[in-house]
Amino acid sequence: MTEAAERPSRAREAFFGRLKGPRLRPGQAALLAEALPGLRLDLSEPAPADLAPLFGVPVRAVRLEIGFGGGEHLHAEAARRPEVGFIGIEPFVNGMAKLLARLAEQPLANLRLFDDDAVRVLDWLPDASLEEIDLLYPDPWPKRRHWKRRFVGEGNLDRFARVLAPGGRFCFASDIDTYVDWTLQHCARHPAFDWTARRPADWTEPFADWPGTRYEAKALREGRPPAYLTFLRR
């Protein structure tokens, strides 16, 4: 596989940063070449009205995780909820390789993947097709000139509102206060979402059955308490 072939495209102004880190080990490169094609969503055809046939087992609902990092949360949730189909998106090649290594040890039939811009998947999905969208520790783009690249914004919230079923959840976690405030402000202004918090513990305690992520562990080591926000689709 050539460098150009294995690198995801960036046709749009991307919401994600670098695409590749340290050089992949031969086993990781082999997983990307051999295992990923069978799990990758094919966006060249219109999305089916019912997403359940995308998965190798019967599923009653579908969830989407945007930017899964090393895949700790995504793999744990998909293993815990075999009756739910999961779509995981991660354009960072090394993160995708880490998840594929986990799947080589513990395969999951209720999981599909995509290694490019999440906006492409959101625009491909049919209306009201998702039970939940997870956006966990996204790149905060802290410099003001980069704020337009934060994934939470009016355009993407419109996309979330279209693909989430009524009563569906948008779950957001971050250890960056300014991004937490940004997300609260944008969701408060959007007519499709209600914040579920009624007491401080509702946003300072992790989500139910939370397996954690390596980003969360790093934040806690460095003294940055995370926030966990849940919004319901009206």
Handedness of CA 31, 59, 162, 167 (dihedral sign): negative
pTM: 0.89
Q: pLDDT by residue for the chain (234 residues), tens digit each?
A: 333 334 444 444 454 444 555 677 787 888 898 999 999 999 999 999 999 999 989 999 999 999 999 999 999 999 999 999 999 999 999 999 999 999 999 999 999 999 999 999 999 999 999 999 999 999 988 887 878 889 999 999 999 999 999 999 999 999 999 999 999 999 999 999 999 999 989 999 999 999 988 889 999 999 999 999 999 999
- Where does residue 45 rank: exposed (0-12), middle (13-18), buried (19+ CB within 10 A)? exposed
Q: Please report which helix (H) or strand (E) contains residue 111, including its range.
A: strand 111-114
* pLDDT at res. 70: 92
What domain range includes position 87?
Answer: 3-233
CATH number at residue 135: 3.40.50.150
Beta-carbon contacts of residue 45 (< 8 Å; ≥ 6 apart): none
Tally of domains within the chain: 1
Residues 110, 115, 121: CA angle, nearest 5 degrees: 75
Do residues 169 and 233 touch, judged by C-beta distance below 8 A?
yes
Question: Cα separations (Å) of 133 from 25, 44, 169, 172, 186?
Answer: 31, 23, 6, 9, 16
Token pair belonging to 20: 């590749």
* pLDDT at res. 214: 86
Dihedral over alpha carbons 120, 124, 130, 136 (to 10 degrees): 0
* pLDDT at res. 5: 38
Query: Residues with catalytic annotation?
Result: 139
* pLDDT at res. 17: 45
